[in-house]
Structure 1
């Protein structure tokens, strides 16, 4: 026998002796024991584990995780050390069934109870999308109701599969094996903290870029960095706005000016129109004295009519400038909504005032000479006198002749 063969034989004998020694010293294990083992092989529906016993044990797929998994390789890997619970042992058949799930569950109840009491934030991956919400693995089967996933309504949860969420424990019921979690609570807390930070940093008059979040009949809510402010419908444009959707739509990026900040009530008042040139600034240089322009009668008053000559710009037509003939009230010749031609008599942008005239756009009616008009009136009076004289003569003629 060669020297090398002698060494190999000696090593094998030593190994056999050590194996025999190990087997003689293997502790007896029984159902319910907690043991440590190392994954030596992974099959599709189970993992093979060595726990230092005389034969290896198996962890069935259902005992690897509290949630449904497709393969053992989704949960463990070769060489990984695990703490396991003995479910079944049969030395005659060399059958040893172990559970990772049982140990994970036991530890998780303690961890989750502590998280419930302290408000600790946990991280877990979405394992399943089920009716009414999501399922995550937190050592136990954790359920996140649909209403507790986000701060906003979610219609389709498909993209959440495999996503890691930050969660708070909402409810624990060990008897019913029920674990309810919420990501919404985490997001709400962060939103509130961010909101206060933003509220304290805003100043009146500040101009910000925001995103239109949602529309209501009375205005639009704008996200200005994690907090929503309201642009009232009256602050959406310089002209009259019937409904917010006439000016903006959800998702629009717009500039807004801060009008008011109320940290106590967590309210921010914003304006779109304050970031834009006002209607009077827009018409500066557009109109000149003597211009004839088209306008619309907006309001009638006892002293005249207000005519809109540009969006948000109204000028006054004094009652004396409405018609060439005398009128007692503007309502005699005008009505609201009527389009009219007006002439610019005076304009003062600084005071936001325009004086207008309607009659200056119309030709004055022709008039006869004054003497002629007076003669006409005399002619009209003579026949009346003659008629009166004839009537008296005819009626009292006989009686008058006696006096003669």
Structure 2
């Protein structure tokens, strides 16, 4: 086509016209297209290919692509065109609908910049760092190229401002999960959980979208000084549901109730006749309670404390004293142990008070005693 004919045809177009063009050549910083229904060429500068910054035109288009374009400038023999403006207009119409209806949609993270992430939705969408996740993220470098679900939280077409949030989607999903769990969970259930955080009074455990509290008294059968002595953050645990307050969204859990009790298999740990070491925990009028294992105490009845007659256990024992005991009886079901200290002590060699001496022996001894006294008087 001659230059004169080009100039004539160019005059048929005005700034703002919408045209379709087929890519005939992709250069580094611009793209050449043939305008549909004409033999006129158009030029798309690299800056007009995308709402995002791009290094080379081939990252966006290839030869043969059909593009919807807008006329930016009418030159003497060519048109300067924009793909970006058409994409943006289409995008804004779609984005306004998404924003008004609270639609959740997937999009790829195109870039990581200072302060957040960039997403290309036909227009540049920005995700502030605080709206990426519900938890703190120190380094966002591996988010580039990731596809995430987003909601639009702020939209201003005039200022070309589009703010997105992935955090809002995450929190919305968590909210739904939380309600589902609150409605389905039952007291007495044993479920798997993950320790989320520790406090002075216990541990919060995630049971699939909602946290429940394991009070420090429910962490172990043993006495616990600090929750960190028993569990750690990130640990997988089994918990039993103690109570559910759906109105206040509170769940009480127990790890202790999922563990074997201290009395489990006590018949094997403390069989009848065995000798064990324990600590005197309590003294009462009728005996002493001795702890053999954490949470397992047995009774040494006052009659089993000593071979000597004693009025109270305090006469021979004191609390926190370590003693050796013999197991007399084991009742695992009723959680009772009968113990003896006396059976491990040697009997004193003394004549029982009720012992009857033989008659002959009595007479013999008496005669000897009288004879000895007479001899002494004669002297």
Give the shorter-chain TM-score range.
Answer: 0.7 to 0.9
Tell me, in whole angstroms, the C-alpha distance in 1 between the residues paired with 2:251 and 2:274: 43
Per-residue deviation, residues 78-106 of structure 1 (Å, max 9, x unmatched): 33322222222211xx4532222222223
Structure 1 equivalent of residue 63 of structure 2 = 78
Match of 1:124 in 2: 107
Secondary structure in 1 aligned to 2:28? coil
CA 1:41–1:291 in 2, change beyond 3 Å: closer, same or farther? same
Match of 2:319 in 1: 335
Residue 31 (str. 1) matches residue 15 (str. 2): yes
Match for residue 164 of structure 1?
A: 147
Could you say which residue in structure 2 is the equivalent of 1:236? 219
Task: Note if 1:110 corresponds to 2:79.
Answer: no
Partner residue, 1:205: 188
Q: Which residue of 1 aligns with 2:358?
A: none
- Taking the aligned partners of 2:334 and 2:179, their CA distance within structure 1 comes to 41
Counterpart selection for 1:66 from 35, 48, 51: 51
1:263-302 map, 5 Å = 263-299=246-282
Q: 1:290 to 1:87 in 2, by over 3 A?
A: same
Q: Name the CA shift for 1:321/1:191 in 2 (closer, same or farther; >3 Å).
A: same
TM-score of the two chains, using structure 1 as the length reference: 0.75
Structure 1 pair 67–289 and aligned structure 2 pair: CA distance change class (3 A):
same
Could you say which structure has the larger radius of gyration?
1
Distance 1:28 1:308 in 2: 102
More helix per residue: 1
8 Å Cα contact 1:221-1:230 kept in structure 2: yes
Mapped contact 2:10–2:78 kept (Cα < 8 A)? no
Write out per-residue CA displacement over residues 229-271 of structure 1, whole angstroms, 9 at most, x where no aligned residue.
3333322222223333333333333333333333333333333
Q: 1:219 to 1:369 in 2, by over 3 A?
A: closer
Q: Give the structure 1 partner of residue 375 of structure 2.
A: none
Partner Cα separation in structure 2 for residue 287 and residue 21 of structure 1: 109
In the alignment, what sits opposite 1:400? none
Q: Distance in 2 between matches of 1:155 and 1:298?
A: 52
C-alpha displacement of 1:226: 3.7
CA–CA distance in structure 1, aligned partners of residues 290 and 54 of structure 2: 74
| Alignment deviations for residues 327-375 of structure 1 (CA, whole Å, 9 cap, x no partner) | 6574984233x4322232433222212233444433456668879xxxx
Equivalent-residue separation in structure 2 for 1:125 and 1:50 (angstroms): 31
Structure 2: distance between partners of 1:330 and 1:65 = 91
Given that residues 90 and 96 in structure 1 are in contact (C-alpha distance below 8 angstroms), is that contact kept between their aligned partners in structure 2?
A: yes
Residue 339 of structure 2 aligns with which residue?
356
Give distance in 1, aligned partners of 2:72 and 2:288: 95
Deviating more after overlay: 21-30 vs 163-172: 21-30
SS at match of 1:284: helix
1:47 paired with 2:31, answer yes
Paired with 1:233 and 1:365, the residues of 2 have a C-alpha distance of 49
Aligned to 1:8: none
CA distance in 2, matches of 1:131, 1:331: 77
Contact 1:300-1:331 at 8 Å conserved across structures = no
Gapped runs of 5+ residues in structure 2? 355-379
1:185-224 → structure 2 map (5 Å cutoff): 185-224=168-207
How does the TM-score come out when normalised to structure 2?
A: 0.79
**Equivalent residue for 2:137, pick from 154, 168, 173:** 154
Say which is worse superposed, 160-169 or 355-364, in terms of deviation: 355-364
CA offsets 1:378-400 (integer angstroms, 9 cap, x no match):
xxxxxxxxxxxxxxxxxxxxxxx
Alignment RMSD:
3.3
1:132 CA displacement: 2.0
1:141 & 1:267 partners in 2: Cα distance?
A: 42
Give the distance between the partners of 2:151 and 2:314, measured in 1 at CA: 70
Aligned residues, how many? 352
Q: CA deviation at 1:21?
A: 9.4
